[in-house]
Every structure is written in C-alpha cells, then in structure tokens.
Amino acid sequence: MFKEPPYSTENKSRWRLDFAKNEISVEVAFNHQEATAHNIMKPVLASELNHVRKEVQTSLGVIVVVTKSMKKVGNFDGAVGTFESFQEYFKPYNNIITTPVVLIGISEPKTFLIDKKSKSIITF
C-alpha cells in the first residue's frame, strides 16, 4: 500500500493489501477477529490522501469474510472474524470510514462439507 520505508520494507504484510487493481482494493479477511478494525481501515488508507507515499490509490474497498455458519461448517479457527462481527464495526466507525466499502460474507456450501478430522471434502 505504501512506497515509503519502513512501511514498504519492515512489517510489509501489515501494510499490504491482499489485492488491488485499478481503483479497487480487496482484503480477504480470514484472520483473527482482533484484526477486524485494521482490515476495515486498510482499504480506507489506500483510498485517502496520506502523509506516507503510496504504492496504490484506490477509491473502493471490498472485504471478503466468512459468515458464522461458514466458520463452523468450514472448520475455521474459533478466533476468525465473521461477517456478523465485521458488521458491528461499521456503525461506530462510520465517521472514519470515508471510502465506500463492500462487505461480502461467504456462506456455507450447500453441496459439500469439509470433514473436521480428515479435512477431506464430503459431497452430498
């Protein structure tokens, strides 16, 4: 996201977007729910003017997360943030989310499941 050290050299993953193309930045947030606020703010930082020299300039953020049901059926770690938990952040963060952000929640699959022990796919 940023061109300027130390943001571009140290802690690169902390200041890196998962994907960026043209004016869209994308975060795939299957990580710990404590990173929810930072995952929301990264597309905002990529879209706003900043005192740190930037690698990309976007105007729309997309955040992809799992729903509670997918978290359970997909055998995600218990600490993973969900669509529902991300939704809770948007109202109090309303004044600092200055960029349009699309939140996408991935629901559980209807035609297969992932066995918790073997991690193999079971189709219906």
Q: What is the pLDDT of residues 51-70, one digit of tens each?
A: 888 888 999 999 999 999 99
> Which domains are delineated in the chain?
12-123 (3.40.91.20)
Distance in angstroms (rounded) separating the CA atoms of residues 5 and 62? 26
SS3 113: strand
Contact call for residues 63 and 7 (beta carbons, < 8 A): no
Is the pTM higher than 0.85? The answer reads yes
105's enclosing H/E stretch is strand 101-106
Q: Report, in angstroms and rounded to the nearest whole number, the Rg of the chain calculated over CA atoms.
A: 16
Q: What is the mean pLDDT of residues 76-82?
A: 94
From 12-21, 35-44, 56-65, the region with the lowest mean pLDDT: 12-21
Cα distances from 74 to residues 45, 69, 81, 117, 119, in angstroms, run: 31, 8, 13, 12, 9
Residue 11 has pLDDT above 70, yes or no: no
Residue 12 confidence (pLDDT): 67
Contact call for residues 37 and 89 (beta carbons, < 8 A): yes
Q: Which residue has the tokens 């706003």?
A: 48
